[in-house]
């Protein structure tokens, strides 16, 4: 039965009780006070019921209602101007084609994208540069710290090595967020210096700035997110990337 039906029933019962009982004025005031309190509680229950109905409708596999898409849908000709702004990169500095990737060290799809990046760099060693930008998802509690470790390792010239080791062991981060310290030892890094660099606010500022760059585009905030010379490729296959790269190289 709906909450509103309960409200009507309650009111009807109270009216009948007033008409058929020898209710004193003091008792009447007490009943009215209780009625107001009960009505308030019913309103709260009604709101909670409405919220639960919305939540259940999202879980219902037969629900055909699609969630609203808040992100802008880019057209094929949309070009986003994304500044490198100190983000780290693989490949030649002055490459004609710049691939920008937002990534999360704790997301399996980002881990899988590392082989795509390697294939593209191997296929276009002189023409393609891949700029890595961090977008640690809030649901991945250790991803932000992993990004800090990678940026700190960069100050000792070991970003690429740390990047690869973290992604190769990303599942273990959930159990040990400081696992990159072991990698730092393997790489022969100065651990004390690494820890000091981790505390430098400039590293977190860099991560926050890279996240904001994606947010400012208005695109759907899913990672890995790729742009090729500011254009989003049609699909995630290596051929889709190569098609767009070849198109850019002909310009």
DSSP 29-73: HHHHHHHHHHHHHHHHHHHHHHHHHHHHHHH-TT--PPPP--S--
Cα 136 to Cα 198: distance, rounded to the nearest angstrom: 16
Percentages of the chain per state (helix, strand, coil), in multiples of 5: 55, 10, 35
In the prediction, which pLDDT does 43 show? 64
Indicate the DSSP class of residue 170: G
Asked if residue 170 has pLDDT above 80, the reply is yes
Considering only CA atoms, which of 95, 91, 111 is closest in space to residue 224?
111
Helix (H) or strand (E) holding 190: none
Cα 151 to Cα 158: distance, rounded to the nearest angstrom: 9
For 102, phi and psi rounded to 5 degrees?
-95, 135
First to last CA, the chain: 67
Give per-residue pLDDT as tens, 66-100: 444 444 555 567 999 999 999 999 999 999 999 99
The residue written with tokens 């879980």 in the block is: 59
Mean pLDDT of 105-114: 97
Contact present, 52 and 199 (Cβ < 8 Å): no
In the prediction, which pLDDT does 47 show? 53
User: What's the pTM?
Assistant: 0.71
Residue 128 forms beta bridges with which residues? 97
pLDDT grade for 1, boundaries at 50, 70 and 90: very low
Give per-residue pLDDT as tens, 196-251: 999 999 999 999 999 999 999 999 999 999 999 999 999 889 999 999 999 999 99
Cα 88 to Cα 97: distance, rounded to the nearest angstrom: 16
């Amino acid at each position: 039965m709906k909450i509103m039906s309960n409200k009507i029933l309650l009111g009807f019962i109270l009216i009948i009780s007033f008409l058929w009982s020898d209710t004193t004025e003091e008792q009447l005031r007490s009943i009215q006070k209780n009625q107001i309190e009960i009505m308030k509680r019913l309103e709260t229950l009604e709101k909670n019921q409405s919220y639960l109905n919305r939540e259940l409708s999202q879980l219902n596999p037969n629900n055909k209602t699609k969630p609203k898409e808040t992100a802008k849908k880019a057209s094929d000709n949309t070009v986003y101007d994304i500044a490198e702004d100190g983000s780290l990169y693989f490949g030649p500095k002055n490459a004609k084609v710049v691939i920008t990737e937002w990534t999360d060290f704790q997301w399996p799809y980002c881990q899988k994208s590392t082989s795509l990046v390697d294939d593209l760099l191997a296929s276009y060693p002189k023409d393609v540069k891949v700029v890595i930008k961090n977008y640690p998802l809030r649901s991945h509690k250790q991803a932000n710290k992993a990004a800090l470790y990678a940026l700190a390792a960069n100050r000792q010239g070991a970003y690429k090595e740390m990047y690869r080791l973290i992604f190769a062991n990303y599942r273990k981060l959930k159990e040990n967020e400081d696992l990159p310290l072991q990698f730092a030892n393997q790489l022969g890094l100065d651990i004390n210096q690494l820890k000091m660099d981790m505390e430098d606010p400039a590293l977190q500022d860099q991560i926050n700035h890279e996240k904001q760059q994606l947010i400012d585009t208005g695109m759907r905030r899913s990672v890995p997110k790729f742009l090729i010379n500011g254009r989003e490729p049609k699909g995630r296959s290596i051929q889709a990337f190569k098609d767009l790269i070849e198109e850019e190289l002909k310009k």
